Structure 1
Amino acid sequence: MPPQRRRRGAPEEPPGRRGRKPAKGKKAKKVLLWTSGTVAFLVLATGVGGYLYLEHLNDNITSVSDDGASTGGFKKDQAINILLIGTDKRTGAGNEGYGDKGSEGHADTTILLHVSKDRSNATALSIPRDLIVDIPDCPTQQEDGSEKVIPGSTGARFNTSLGQSGRTPSCTMRTVTELTGIKPDNFMVADFNAVKTLTSAVGGVEVCLGKDINDPDSHLNLPKGTHRIEGEQALAFVRTRHSVGLGGDLSRIELQQQFLSSLMRELKSNDTLTSPSKMIKLAEAGTEALTVDSQLNSINKLKDLGMELGKLNVKNLTFTTIPVVDNPAEKIKATVVLDESKAPEVFDLIRNDVSFTEVKQQKKKEAAAVAARLKGEKAPASEVRVRILNGGAPAGSAQSTLSWLQVDQGVGKSENAGNAPAELAKTTLEYAPDQADQARRLADILGLSGSAMKPGESVTNSQGLPAMTLTLGKDFKGAGVSLTPPDKAPDDIKKSTADKVVCAE
């Protein structure tokens, strides 16, 4: 595909910005566009007409800087984390009639979409807008190219991480990293019109209500049962709150997850994927509705992301919400705080690329093979010989681990080998075949999983003797803290998969 060109006579744009429209926002209902739009891009990218149309789609895209808050963009050979942000800013034709029309917008609907490294599964983690969080300081690129640091705030609602005090999507991205320990690769922001135009492009999506709903605030008026909705009615469906569940934001999140599940099924259906007219409508709607970060500012880049996301099977796309409890500091419950007994485990699952749903049998076989590394005889701790390197853990971790192993665990044949040549995301233990019994003992002491054990060749320690190599990665939490990640989602975490219909009550 030829590189995109600046329109003749157009002024040069600042680096990292397309400089078209100001950042837009919208209900994050766009997990959708990638899988669908990918086919449209491929169909259209033929001949002169296709090239000109791609140039038109490139001109549709609005991008803003990520201000260094991302990983620098998704990679095809790694797990993917995309932050989907929907705002309540009343932009777009027909939206001025909704309340709060003068607002700068908030992070009203936010989903962290994690796609596994092998693309066999994905988790869409909803973040409640009323969750109390700490918003960090946000270095933010201004219109003139200068940088301004927007002060953070403690004990703030999550939705104020966007729009308020000049905060941009990169501030929301930094807040998510602070909250979850997961650094997003990219972000996407969409406005109210995205729900309307995208649902109309696919001919509507099917939703289910377990009761009659007549909500004057969202303008949703539908009887109990299954309905196909699009346009204004689809927007009313994802906005309704007081008429479902307990009437709060958590109940609305469940409604939105049902909507997104249905939209994903529609986008993956043959009726959509084999219809050039629907694909063109989706390409138009998606590129017009979205504001993306500067790493996703072209059709080519969106197409590449779409190709990766298109590998997903909807039955292995799980929707869940950060576990929260009512804010104990409030008499009238208006906000929520993290459920500290459950939320950290959910974050660990995502950081460790663990599926929230059953995946193909091959995955189970691979997991069993990895687990087998832990089975077998274990050498006495006194016979374990290991070099310890710091590969991304906090400063001093190698020495503290050495002291703990020697004093508390009896691993006397151990030494601090300094810093590793490169940082690692996860701690690893490398060993030769004849050191397997030593590796199993050390893994047992450290709480290492089979996946952290790397069969290979031994190296020599400072005394010229063969030794294993323990490299402490960024996941290292301290000497004596188990490094075994969770291997499945806890049973008490509420979740649903995109292949099933759950009627809203």
Structure 2
Amino acid sequence: DFNAVKTLTSAVGGVDVCLAKDIKDPDSKLDLPKGEHTIEGEEALAFVRTRHSVGFGGDLSRIELQQQFLGSMMRKLKSNDTLTSPSKMIKLAEAGTKALTVDDQISTIKKLADLGAELGKFDTKNLTFATVPVVDNPAEKIKATVVLKEPQAQQLFAMVRDDVSLTEVKQEKKKEKAAEAARLKGTKAPASEVRVRILNGGAVAGSAQETLSWLQVQEGVTKSENAGNAEQPLAKTTLEYGPDEADQARRLAEIMGLSGAALKPGKSVTNSQGVPAMTLTLGKDFEGAGVPLTTPEKVPEDVQKATADKVECAK
């Protein structure tokens, strides 16, 4: 409900916005000169609804404007101690219960206030707004719609799905990432020397055989075999290997586009030929032979993003 913008902005004492140019939009009724302003109520509603006077004059430009507005609201909540002041938080929660439809678990003023107290510990530099990259629909002569820009859109989705931060990674995460990356460094065995058993652990039926054929015919991993279905389904594909198989694991990871997180140092198993082999278990994230499973660690260049700690001026 857009009317919530009026109620909540008034409850926090207005939201600071910045304009890089004069904006006069007869449709949204926003009329503000270039510069910094504190807006609330009807004026705040007009700000988040305007689109014809910013960017390219479309919905995508309005999305960017609304992201700037939400970032500014978070800065305001942090700067005036609303989220840490019980009296201010109760006032905001009262406005929220009237303006918003929320889950039953946070439907009371007290529960919303408790949630606000937790948000008070939040650092705005870790709040990122991102817009999925798109391009004009190539099927249209008169451009009216957009389609996802690939592969950047899927890369962004993968980061969200795998909980990869769009801002800075915490120190403990950095150490974990470094350890995972180290598993990929070192010598790699020739593809012809890679011994691996392939299990289907949640991928589409037939994926193990498809991968086996692809590895043997196209990648030269001839010492591979289909071992059927895994005992337990896995959300993500893994490669378990013994201490003396690390060079084989690195080669297979390179071929399949596996991340260091997918490599699981452990023990080898005996294959049908009676010799030690690694175990590749295809998880639910497996999308097909030859499709890399590595999640990007950085946001693709074409993804528009902004963090809530920085002031952005509407253009």
2:291 corresponding residue in structure 1: 481
Quick check: 1:356 aligned with 2:169? no
Amino acid at match of 1:497: T
1:399 corresponding residue in structure 2: 209
Compared with structure 1, are the counterparts of its residues 467 and 312 closer, same or farther at alpha carbon in structure 2 (3 Å cutoff)? farther
Quick check: 1:437 aligned with 2:247? yes
TM-score (norm 2): 0.88
> In the aligned structure 1, how far is the partner of 2:129 from the partner of 2:170?
18
State the Cα distance separating 1:423 from its structure 2 match: 2.6
Q: Do the aligned partners of 2:132 and 2:304 also contact (CA within 8 Å) in 1? A: no
Amino acid at match of 1:446: M
Q: Do the aligned partners of 1:201 and 1:285 also contact (CA within 8 Å) in 2? A: yes
Quick check: 1:196 aligned with 2:6? yes
1:419 corresponding residue in structure 2: 229
State the Cα distance separating 1:472 from its structure 2 match: 0.7
Say which of 495, 500, 505 aligns to 2:305.
495
State the Cα distance separating 1:238 from its structure 2 match: 0.4
Compared with structure 1, are the counterparts of its residues 304 and 477 closer, same or farther at alpha carbon in structure 2 (3 Å cutoff)? farther
> In the aligned structure 1, how far is the partner of 2:283 from the partner of 2:53?
48
Quick check: 1:278 aligned with 2:88? yes
State the Cα distance separating 1:501 from its structure 2 match: 0.8
> In the aligned structure 2, how far is the partner of 1:216 from the partner of 1:381?
66
Structure-to-structure mapping, 1:105-504, within 5 angstroms:
191-269=1-79, 271-292=81-102, 296=105, 298=107, 312-330=122-140, 332-462=142-272, 465-504=275-314
> In the aligned structure 1, how far is the partner of 2:308 from the partner of 2:260?
31
State the Cα distance separating 1:303 from its structure 2 match: 8.0
For each residue in 1:96-133, what CA deviation from the matched residue of structure 2 results, as whole angstroms up to 9, or x when unmatched?
xxxxxxxxxxxxxxxxxxxxxxxxxxxxxxxxxxxxxx
What is the percent sequence identity of the aligned residues?
79
State the Cα distance separating 1:463 from its structure 2 match: 5.5
* Number of aligned residues: 314
Give the 3-state SS of the residue equivalent to 1:417 in structure 2.
strand
Compared with structure 1, are the counterparts of its residues 422 and 197 closer, same or farther at alpha carbon in structure 2 (3 Å cutoff)? farther
Q: Do the aligned partners of 2:89 and 2:113 also contact (CA within 8 Å) in 1? A: no
Structure that is richer in helix per residue: 2
Give the 3-state SS of the residue equivalent to 2:250 in structure 1.
helix
Amino acid at match of 2:256: L
State the Cα distance separating 1:494 from its structure 2 match: 2.4
Give the 3-state SS of the residue equivalent to 2:36 in structure 1.
strand
> In the aligned structure 2, how far is the partner of 1:402 from the partner of 1:223?
65
Q: Do the aligned partners of 1:316 and 1:359 also contact (CA within 8 Å) in 2? A: no
RMSD: 2.7
Amino acid at match of 2:207: S
Amino acid at match of 1:240: T
State the Cα distance separating 1:422 from its structure 2 match: 2.9
Give the 3-state SS of the residue equivalent to 2:183 in structure 1.
helix
For each residue in 1:22-59, what CA deviation from the matched residue of structure 2 results, as whole angstroms up to 9, or x when unmatched?
xxxxxxxxxxxxxxxxxxxxxxxxxxxxxxxxxxxxxx
- Asked which structure has the greater RCO (Cα within 8 Å, sep 6+), the reply is 2
State the Cα distance separating 1:226 from its structure 2 match: 0.9
Amino acid at match of 2:24: N
> In the aligned structure 2, how far is the partner of 1:220 from the partner of 1:365?
48
For each residue in 1:69-88, what CA deviation from the matched residue of structure 2 results, as whole angstroms up to 9, or x when unmatched?
xxxxxxxxxxxxxxxxxxxx
Amino acid at match of 1:352: D
Amino acid at match of 1:421: E
Amino acid at match of 1:213: I
State the Cα distance separating 1:428 from its structure 2 match: 0.9
> In the aligned structure 1, how far is the partner of 2:112 from the partner of 2:240?
38
Give the 3-state SS of the residue equivalent to 1:273 in structure 2.
coil
State the Cα distance separating 1:367 from its structure 2 match: 2.0
State the Cα distance separating 1:251 from its structure 2 match: 1.5
State the Cα distance separating 1:270 from its structure 2 match: 5.2
> In the aligned structure 2, how far is the partner of 1:350 from the partner of 1:470?
25
> Unaligned regions of 5+ residues in structure 1, if any?
1-190
